[in-house]
């Protein structure tokens, strides 16, 4: 008898939180939150729930997503993706930018419509299509800040108009922050799943069911149905915010977010997307994984394996548009990013704003997806005036990032490593460099970042910083809640004025250095 195939969690490593998915025949589509990054809401395709390929982004135009002035960890929260009668529907919240809205498309890769605004206030909206009706649920104001309620109304999915007033259908199972609710038609009844405990180490998922989408909802006697809060030493923590999908064979699976802390209780890759089976008890109550617990390696769905061609480690910037893996902090400045001005190069024109600012910065980045990895780039940049700089950055937030920059120093052109934590910047190391291109490298290993300049054995180490310095825990201790993982990428800035010199990046390379 052959051994059942297994898969490795997370199925989407790196900063892909609040997953939502739907099935269309043999195809699965998944989206996640994107917060202050643009384009917004990455969308993926799979045939086996394990291997995923990014198709693009749902919100790819400024008319769909204007992030001007949006604070870090603001922007796009928890989307819900559904498919009904040949059309895809996605609802989400633009925190600080207008509230809850709906977009639709015939094809998952788009084009997606401009927003149809539904309402302001609340967050984590969801849609439930049932017997010719569309139900719209979201978090609403409860008796106190820590106990929001789940409100629901019928929705006209064409106009975004609510049909009648919102009603409270769920007050939670007793934990703080009931949120991220989804409704499902399962086993002849309506099931409601929601997260509780806050999206940190007490995070969990709870379930309830009713005979009607309006309730009253009976809580599952075995709640929580997913939680690792009692497994403090486990590699996976903060599990919750689940969404369910039913396969053609009738089995049910859940995607959900979790974190993988390192260096104690510190996580810097962000909240990631995990997968586990859902088992139902004899009396019809769901449980995710084994008794609400999941592992890094688990038995795979009984679907034919479907492998996508692996993405190349190096991007030579030969295409007409950037690959979907790349994102920007907020909307990119007009004219600051070009692929055609110098053949085979990504050209950045530094803007007055820098990575320290909430402003339009020239920055092209991708998510860090592995604890051990190396990223390199080949930069041709000849700064003409003080303040002009370009290079590589590991970004968590405006006041938390690591930069490896080429700029003008007192003695000439130099490469410098800078650590910015808590809003204060400190130079870790610097070296004078001759005219011409230079290779820059940021390496992550043994829970440290190393910032290096030069090629091969001739490279020099300019600085080393513990990864926990960019963790959500370290950042939140000094300010508001931080919901995002780190991104790595190329930037340019004039620090107060536009750059006169372009920064030309010949290629960018990202390579995992080992199994996480």
**Co-location of 138 and 269 in the same domain:** yes
**Co-location of 198 and 165 in the same domain:** yes
Is 380 among the residues known to form the active site?
Answer: no
User: In total, how many domains does the chain have?
Assistant: 2
**Co-location of 294 and 378 in the same domain:** no
**Co-location of 288 and 330 in the same domain:** no
Phi then psi for residue 472, to 5 deg, are: -60, -35
Helix (H, G, I), strand (E, B) or coil at 297: strand
**Co-location of 148 and 295 in the same domain:** yes
Which of 264, 299, 334 is the endpoint of a domain? 299
Q: How confident is the model at residue 113 (pLDDT cuts 50, 70, 90)?
A: very high
Q: How confident is the model at residue 346 (pLDDT cuts 50, 70, 90)?
A: very high
**Can you give the residue range of the structural domain that contains 230?**
6-299
- Residue of 18, 48, 124, 243 with catalytic role: 18
Q: Is residue 503 classed exposed, middle or buried when 0-12, 13-18 and 19+ CB atoms within 10 A define those classes?
A: buried
pLDDT at 1: 42
Q: Which of 463, 385, 400, 405 is nearest to 429 (CA)?
A: 463
Query: Which residues are within 8 A (CB) of 256 and not within 5 positions of it... i.e. 6 or more apart?
Result: 19, 205, 226, 239, 240, 241, 242, 243, 273, 274, 276, 288
**Co-location of 336 and 469 in the same domain:** yes
List the CATH number of the domain containing 193.
2.115.10.20
Q: Which of 36, 57, 66 is nearest to 111 (CA)?
A: 57
Q: Which of 353, 246, 256 is nearest to 298 (CA)?
A: 256
**CA contacts within 13 A on the Cβ side of 514:** 8
**Co-location of 339 and 416 in the same domain:** yes
- Residue of 48, 139, 179, 398 with catalytic role: 179
Whether residue 245 contacts residue 46, with contact meaning beta carbons closer than 8 Å, is answered with: no
Sheet hosting strand 424-432, strand order edge to edge: 362-367, 487-493, 389-397, 400-409, 412-421, 424-432
Note the pLDDT tens digit of each residue in 133-168: 999 999 999 888 889 999 999 999 999 999 999 999
List the CATH number of the domain containing 457.
2.60.120.200
pLDDT at 515: 52
Note the pLDDT tens digit of each residue in 62-81: 999 999 999 999 999 999 99
**Co-location of 47 and 170 in the same domain:** yes
Query: Which residues are within 8 A (CB) of 397 and not within 5 positions of it... i.e. 6 or more apart?
Result: 72, 73, 475, 482, 484
CA angle at residue 103 from 99 to 106, to 5 degrees? 170
Query: Which residues are within 8 A (CB) of 310 and not within 5 positions of it... i.e. 6 or more apart?
Result: none
Is 439 among the residues known to form the active site?
Answer: no
Q: Which residue in the block uniquely carries the two structure tokens 């004039």?
A: 494
| Percentage of the chain exceeding pLDDT 70 | 99
Note the pLDDT tens digit of each residue in 202-239: 999 999 999 999 999 999 999 999 999 999 999 999 99
Note the pLDDT tens digit of each residue in 370-419: 999 999 999 999 999 999 999 999 999 999 999 999 999 999 999 999 99
Q: Which residue in the block uniquely carries the two structure tokens 């149905």?
A: 225
CA angle at residue 121 from 204 to 33, to 5 degrees? 50
């Amino acid at each position: 008898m052959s051994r059942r195939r297994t898969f490795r969690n997370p199925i989407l490593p790196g900063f892909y939180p609040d997953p939502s998915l739907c099935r269309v025949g043999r195809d699965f589509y998944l989206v996640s939150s994107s917060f202050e990054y643009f384009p917004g809401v990455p969308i993926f395709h799979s045939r086996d729930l394990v291997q995923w390929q990014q198709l693009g982004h749902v919100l790819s135009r400024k008319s769909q997503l204007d992030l001007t002035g949006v604070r870090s960890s603001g922007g796009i929260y928890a989307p819900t993706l559904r498919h009904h009668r040949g059309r895809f529907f996605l609802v989400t919240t633009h925190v600080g930018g207008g509230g809850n809205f709906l977009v639709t498309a015939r094809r998952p890769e788009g084009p997606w419509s401009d927003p149809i605004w539904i309402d302001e206030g609340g967050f984590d909206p969801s849609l439930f299509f049932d017997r010719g009706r569309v139900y719209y649920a979201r978090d609403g104001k409860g008796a106190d800040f820590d106990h929001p309620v789940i409100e629901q109304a019928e929705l006209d999915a064409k106009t975004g108009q609510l049909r009648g007033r919102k009603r409270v259908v769920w007050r939670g199972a007793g934990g703080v922050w009931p949120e991220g609710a989804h409704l499902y038609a399962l086993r002849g009844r309506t099931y409601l799943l929601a997260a509780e405990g806050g999206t940190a180490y007490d995070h969990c998922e709870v379930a309830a069911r009713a005979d009607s989408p309006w309730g009253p909802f009976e809580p599952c006697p075995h709640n929580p149905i997913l939680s690792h809060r009692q497994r403090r030493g486990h590699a996976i923590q903060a599990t919750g915010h689940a969404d369910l999908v039913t396969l053609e064979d009738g089995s049910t699976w859940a995607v959900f977010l979790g974190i993988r802390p390192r260096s104690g209780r510190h996580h810097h890759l962000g909240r990631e997307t995990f997968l586990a089976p859902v088992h139902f008890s004899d009396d019809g109550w769901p449980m995710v994984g084994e008794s609400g617990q999941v592992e890094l390696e688990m038995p795979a769905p009984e679907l034919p394996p479907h492998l996508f061609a692996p993405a190349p480690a190096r991007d030579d910037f030969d295409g007409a548009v950037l690959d979907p893996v790349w994102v920007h902090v907020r909307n990119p400045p007009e004219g600051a990013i070009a692929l055609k001005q110098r053949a085979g190069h990504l050209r950045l024109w530094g803007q007055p704003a820098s990575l320290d600012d909430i402003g339009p910065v020239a920055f092209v980045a991708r998510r860090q997806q592995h604890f051990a990895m190396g990223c390199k780039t080949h930069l041709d940049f000849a700064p003409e005036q003080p303040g002009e700089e370009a290079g590589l950055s590991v970004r968590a937030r405006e006041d938390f990032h690591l930069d490896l920059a080429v700029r003008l120093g007192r003695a000439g052109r130099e490469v410098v490593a800078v650590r910015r934590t808590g809003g204060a910047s400190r130079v870790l190391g610097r070296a004078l460099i001759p005219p011409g291109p230079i290779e820059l490298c940021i390496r992550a290993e043994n829970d440290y970042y190393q910032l290096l300049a030069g090629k091969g054995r001739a490279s020099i180490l300019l600085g080393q910083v513990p990864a926990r310095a960019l963790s959500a825990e370290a950042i939140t201790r000094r300010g508001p809640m931080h919901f995002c993982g780190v991104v790595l990428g190329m930037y340019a800035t004039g620090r107060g004025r536009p750059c006169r010199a372009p920064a030309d990046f010949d290629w960018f390379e990202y390579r995992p250095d080992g199994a996480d």
